[in-house]
Amino acid sequence: MLNTLPLWAEITLAALLVVGGVFTLVGSIGLVRFDDFYMRLHAPTKAATLGAGGVLLASMGWAWAQGRPGVHELLITLFLFVTAPVSANLMAQAALHLRVPSRAPLPPDQPSA
């Protein structure tokens, strides 16, 4: 039997899902539309991580409303928020080591190489 939630809880969970979905969509669009590796690396590691965090927070809220503590969702969220920046940093360092070119414009005060 499904438990019904109070209206404020349903609105909060729906808002978390919508915010998480919007961040994930923005990260996915950034991954497709950005020009070079460094910009493509930035979009999913920032926006998609926040999107997944919003969805997982909604899942934790739903589990709490069902009488479960939501430990699995908390562990997934912590693992995601710890590993995503570390893996992005390692990929960026590898790209710099391999001298992957960037298409980003130079700042106006920096001379061209």
Q: Is residue 47 part of a domain?
A: yes
How confident is the model at residue 39, as a pLDDT?
Answer: 86
Q: How confident is the model at residue 1 (pLDDT cuts 50, 70, 90)?
A: very low
Average confidence (pLDDT) over 36-43: 87
- Residue 26 in any domain: the answer is yes
Q: Where does the pLDDT of residue 3 fall: very low under 50, low under 70, confident under 90, or very high at 90 and above? A: low
Residue 109 belongs to a domain: no
**Domains in the chain: how many in total?**
1
**Position 22 in a domain:** yes
Percentage of the chain lying above the pLDDT 70 cut: 94
Residue range(s) defining the domain that contains residue 69: 7-97
Is residue 112 domain-resident?
A: no
**How many angstroms separate the CA atoms of 61 and 68, rounded?**
9
Residue 81 lies in a domain: yes
In a domain, 111, yes or no: no
